Structure 1
Amino acid sequence: MTERQLNVAVIGAGPAGIYASDILSKSKLDVAIDLFERLPAPYGLVRYGVAPDHPRIKAIITALYNILKRGDIKLHGNVNIGTDVTLQELHQYYDAVIISTGADRDAPLEIPGVDLPECYGAADFVSWYDGHPDYPRTWPLKAKEIAVIGVGNVALDVARVLAKHPDDLHPTEIPANVEAGLRESPVTDVHIFGRRGPAQVKFTPMELRELGHVPDVDVVVYPEDFDYDDGSEAAIASSKMTKQVTEQLTNWVFQEPEDLTASRRIHIHMLQQPAEVLGSEHVEGIRMERTELQGDGSVRGTGEFIDYPVQAVYRAVGYASQPLEGAPFNENRHVIPNEAGRVQRDGKVVDGLYATGWIKRGPIGLIGSTKSDAQETIANLVEDAEAGILEATGPGTGADGLLPLLEKRGVRYTSWHGWELLEAYEMALGKAEGRERVKVVERETMTAVSRDEPHDGKLY
């Protein structure tokens, strides 16, 4: 094992990267950790992948903030690994590199008609309404009736934001351009579709209950979409969360029609799988195939089809990771090939290269899974360091060598102090409007505020 301090670079400042950095900082290694993020702001999908009215954002961000504010993990924002500096160049300055770039694009849905212009990926829509600086500032919101394919929390977020009245979103940190866009939406009905039964949906109880408290939005569930088999009963008996979800869905089934008086509705349909998006040049409807449970919780198609008139379709069937230039990538699974976090190329371990989070295991699991995932990766990194197999291919000087290179290339990188400046700026914007925060969308403004440079104050 080398006697000098190890330099480790972590790519991606979302939960996976921050937790991995935190665990590594508390290991027995003498290590300097530099956390690189391609955006000027940290937190990844916690900032750019969760609906602005989600109640758990603050708690998660507070936990991540408390890790970074210590100062022993150095944050370098607005640095795109792959273009501003290559992965190979990074390894010249760092003994080990951990890739934690997450998953921020939509998994495909292969059905006829899905390429019509009003078919959207949920991840793209979420990035828009969360004010991601790399996405367009407008979104086409012209549909009165909308289909959302998928029964996870992202589908709930998308349906809720589409159906919720903008006045009820205003107190959140929703960007001004997003609020203005939603105010133009004529939506009346949002249909959520899941191919399996009520015991197999992936909603969490808290998020599902929230749906029932959205002002002037009714939640409608249909008795013909309800069925249980032996696998369903076993799932309910073995999981308190599953039981709570099915109970909430059952309560909506037994609502009285006269109690459904809201101007907007969210319909939850189960045991239906998408067969085709209808329309020639634009979305005119969606064709769903009725499914039936097989006894073990799985389903098969019945050959019975139902057409729903909708003018837009959002697919929320999962996230997928993007490849990082210079790193191996499995195009089928959308992950970096690895063995317990050690990156592999052609079945052989790449010394000094690691992965953690969704880029490592795929887009499954919540914060708890991300922490345990990071622990596994870091345990193997520590083992490799103690075995003496970690060494930079160049001078190994870490940030002392890399940051001057970025400056020479004109990369306007930001810091933790810069994030504190940007956060204070957003909080001041919010205070002026009686809100907690107004999120800055414009990347140039984000960067200039973070670097304490002059700017025109453009928010989006």
Structure 2
Amino acid sequence: MRVRNAKLLFSELKLWTSGRSSWMNRLHDGVSRCGKASFSSCSPKVCVVGSGPAGFYTAQHLIKARQDAEVDILERLPVPFGLVRFGVAPDHPEVKNVINTFTQTAQHPRCSFYGNVNVGKDVSIGELQQAYHAVVLSYGAEGNRSMGVPGEDLPGVYSAKDFVGWYNGLPSCRELQPDLSCETAVILGQGNVALDVARVLLSPINILKNTDITQPALDSLAKSRIRRVLIVGRRGPVQVACTIKELREMVNLPGTTPEMVAADFQGVAEALKDLPRPRKRLTELMLKTALETPGEKEQERRSKASRVWGLRFFRSPIEVLSDPGHHKVAGIRLAVNRVEGSGEGARAVLTGKVEEVSCGLVISSIGYRSLPIDPLVPFDSHKAIIPNTVGRVHQAPGLYCSGWVKTGPTGVIATTMNNSFDTARSLVEDMDSGSLDVSSAKPGSQFITALLENRGVKPVTFSDWEKINSVEVRRGEVNGKPREKVLTVEEMLQLARA
């Protein structure tokens, strides 16, 4: 039953907590079970939905900007940190250092983490709005963009989101078990995630075994027969979506050699002078890799390589091809494009030509997609975002959003940090101006935890997560890894409650 107003909420609370008079007395006295001030205090109470970078950066800014604000972070999984844990490549440990900052935020006396709470299922947005002065939606983009071509449902076709989740230990991707017995893999898309996947597929095992990659993924990659990875984009080199760091890692990846098509770079050198500096440096590296004869030392390195990678431009998928028995992927048919326009605004136009590439693995890295969370929340299904102005959700007072659900799946962690700070500033401005009323008392987490208890949901606190963390680190030490991730929600909960 959806609760419609505060009166009904408190009626339900009394009904559900009958027989718990001592707890209720303490609640009315203004003290919760953990000793914090209760809803008799008029401090602004904010609920952040999602504990990835967007959620934590929003909470961090709110706590710093308002010395009286109390922030609760709700997370669907028992473990925090979202894509920092499940999206960042295992061989990029330096990117994961932001977890240290997030941990400081979670341990702040005015911040609380509640994992294992599925907003939209365990508790509704309407109920959160009754309990908090403001709700910030920062739950990211867990859906996949469809290629929309025949054959994309064949065994051997995976989204990059799921493939990355598999080797990073996302519980929902634990059973993926990709078949890596083929020689050639094709990755559709040329962003950083596509290059991460290519690098993981081709990296020497002695590099990966010292990372936090999951043991099942490491075992599969050790037996992989993939020797060639093509990274395909619909536009040209000047529009490639990756950054120079990721491209340089591919160029220097031990045991590999690049394989480019010189014709793809026709006219690119002449366009360099008009490019902004970051794009110019990236394009120069591609040109050097594709067209220049390498030095003696590099030639020797490449001659010893057993694996090949290459960027393929001006190509769009039109069909995934199957083997004769329609049991698995056998290849992909690509449309050959030309580009009209220039720079970021250039668009791919079909030429009518097609080509086929034999492969046994296709990974679609054409973007993540946010999903609607609750009928109460406006959602633009075309853009796959919550419509907003500087984080203020349209036609929904008290609702805000940050991160990819606000902007779409673009940028790096620093981009998310800035847009989350913007949302937090909007919220603080609304508190200060009075357009968001924080003068009346709200029950906050005390009502929500009571409601969840009645529904049989037991949240995981941050100290519970630290139990899981210590077990993962201890298991990793045995194999010389930073951690060995727990792969199932069931085991996470078991460890949290030990």
Quote the Cα distance in structure 1 between the aligned partners of 2:303 and 2:122: 55
> CA shift at 1:261, angstroms?
3.4
> CA shift at 1:391, angstroms?
5.5
Quote the Cα distance in structure 1 between the aligned partners of 2:194 and 2:202: 12
Cα displacement string for residues 236-281 of structure 1 (whole angstroms, at most 9, x for unaligned residues): 3x22x22222222223223568734322211211222223222362
Match of 1:403 among 449, 462, 468: 449
Instruction: Work out whether residues 92 and 395 of structure 1, in 8 Å CA contact, stay in contact via their aligned partners in 2.
Output: no
Instruction: Work out whether residues 88 and 96 of structure 2, in 8 Å CA contact, stay in contact via their aligned partners in 1.
Output: no
Match of 1:307 among 351, 356, 359: 356
> CA shift at 1:411, angstroms?
1.4
Instruction: Name the SS for the 2:171 alignment partner.
Output: coil
Shifted more, 71-80 versus 378-387: the winner is: 378-387
Shifted more, 414-423 versus 222-231: the winner is: 222-231
Quote the Cα distance in structure 2 between the aligned partners of 1:235 and 1:3: 58
Match of 1:158 in 2: 197
**Letter in structure 1 aligned against 2:216:** N
Cα displacement string for residues 173-221 of structure 1 (whole angstroms, at most 9, x for unaligned residues): 1111211222332211111111222221111111111113332222222
Q: Does 1:40 align with 2:78?
A: yes
Change in 2 beyond 3 A, CA 1:304/1:83:
same
Quote the Cα distance in structure 2 between the aligned partners of 1:287 and 1:215: 30
Instruction: Work out whether residues 117 and 283 of structure 1, in 8 Å CA contact, stay in contact via their aligned partners in 2.
Output: yes
Change in 2 beyond 3 A, CA 1:89/1:137:
same
Instruction: Work out whether residues 69 and 110 of structure 2, in 8 Å CA contact, stay in contact via their aligned partners in 1.
Output: no
Instruction: Name the SS for the 1:129 alignment partner.
Output: helix
Shifted more, 17-26 versus 373-382: the winner is: 373-382
Instruction: Work out whether residues 49 and 139 of structure 2, in 8 Å CA contact, stay in contact via their aligned partners in 1.
Output: yes
Quote the Cα distance in structure 2 between the aligned partners of 1:164 and 1:397: 51
> CA shift at 1:137, angstroms?
3.0
Q: Does 1:216 align with 2:265?
A: no
Quote the Cα distance in structure 1 between the aligned partners of 2:341 and 2:121: 51
Instruction: Work out whether residues 52 and 172 of structure 1, in 8 Å CA contact, stay in contact via their aligned partners in 2.
Output: yes
Match of 1:265 in 2: 308
Instruction: Work out whether residues 431 and 437 of structure 1, in 8 Å CA contact, stay in contact via their aligned partners in 2.
Output: yes
Quote the Cα distance in structure 1 between the aligned partners of 2:108 and 2:42: 23
Instruction: Work out whether residues 138 and 177 of structure 1, in 8 Å CA contact, stay in contact via their aligned partners in 2.
Output: no
Instruction: Name the SS for the 1:284 alignment partner.
Output: strand
Cα displacement string for residues 261-311 of structure 1 (whole angstroms, at most 9, x for unaligned residues): 322211211222223222362322112233334351324332232211112
Change in 2 beyond 3 A, CA 1:415/1:39:
same
Quote the Cα distance in structure 1 between the aligned partners of 2:355 and 2:392: 47
> CA shift at 1:40, angstroms?
1.3
**Letter in structure 2 aligned against 1:120:** Y
Instruction: Name the SS for the 1:110 alignment partner.
Output: coil
Q: Does 1:274 align with 2:302?
A: no
Change in 2 beyond 3 A, CA 1:356/1:44:
same
Instruction: Name the SS for the 2:474 alignment partner.
Output: helix
Instruction: Name the SS for the 1:147 alignment partner.
Output: strand
Instruction: Name the SS for the 1:59 alignment partner.
Output: helix
Quote the Cα distance in structure 2 between the aligned partners of 1:196 and 1:140: 28
RMSD over aligned Cα atoms: 2.5
> CA shift at 1:319, angstroms?
1.1
Gaps of 5+ in 1: 454-460
Instruction: Work out whether residues 390 and 422 of structure 2, in 8 Å CA contact, stay in contact via their aligned partners in 1.
Output: yes
Q: After superposition, where does 1:200-279 map in structure 2 within 5 Å?
A: 200-228=239-267, 232-233=271-272, 236=275, 238-239=276-277, 241-253=278-290, 254-255=292-293, 259-279=302-322
Quote the Cα distance in structure 1 between the aligned partners of 2:259 and 2:428: 52
TM score, norm. by length of structure 2: 0.83
Between Structure 1 and Structure 2, the one with more helix by share is 2
**Letter in structure 1 aligned against 2:393:** V
Match of 2:18 in 1: none
Instruction: Work out whether residues 84 and 96 of structure 2, in 8 Å CA contact, stay in contact via their aligned partners in 1.
Output: no
Gaps of 5+ in 2: 1-39
> CA shift at 1:437, angstroms?
1.3
Instruction: Name the SS for the 1:266 alignment partner.
Output: strand
* Identity in percent: 37
Quote the Cα distance in structure 1 between the aligned partners of 2:75 and 2:462: 11
> CA shift at 1:233, angstroms?
3.0
Match of 1:296 among 338, 342, 347: 342
Instruction: Name the SS for the 2:45 alignment partner.
Output: strand
> CA shift at 1:387, angstroms?
4.2
Instruction: Work out whether residues 199 and 228 of structure 1, in 8 Å CA contact, stay in contact via their aligned partners in 2.
Output: no
Match of 2:471 among 425, 432, 441: 425
**Letter in structure 2 aligned against 1:202:** A
Match of 1:120 among 155, 158, 163: 158
Match of 1:361 among 387, 400, 407: 407
Instruction: Work out whether residues 329 and 359 of structure 2, in 8 Å CA contact, stay in contact via their aligned partners in 1.
Output: yes
Match of 1:325 in 2: 374
Match of 1:183 in 2: 222
Quote the Cα distance in structure 1 between the aligned partners of 2:360 and 2:274: 35
Instruction: Work out whether residues 269 and 287 of structure 2, in 8 Å CA contact, stay in contact via their aligned partners in 1.
Output: no
Instruction: Work out whether residues 160 and 197 of structure 2, in 8 Å CA contact, stay in contact via their aligned partners in 1.
Output: yes
Match of 1:171 in 2: 210
**Letter in structure 1 aligned against 2:48:** V
Match of 1:192 in 2: 231
Match of 2:459 in 1: 413
Cα displacement string for residues 324-362 of structure 1 (whole angstroms, at most 9, x for unaligned residues): 123222111111122221212xxxx21111111110111
Larger radius of gyration: 2
Cα displacement string for residues 88-135 of structure 1 (whole angstroms, at most 9, x for unaligned residues): 111221111000001122212123332323221111111111101122
Quote the Cα distance in structure 2 between the aligned partners of 1:252 and 1:71: 52
Change in 2 beyond 3 A, CA 1:378/1:106:
same
Shifted more, 309-318 versus 370-379: the winner is: 370-379
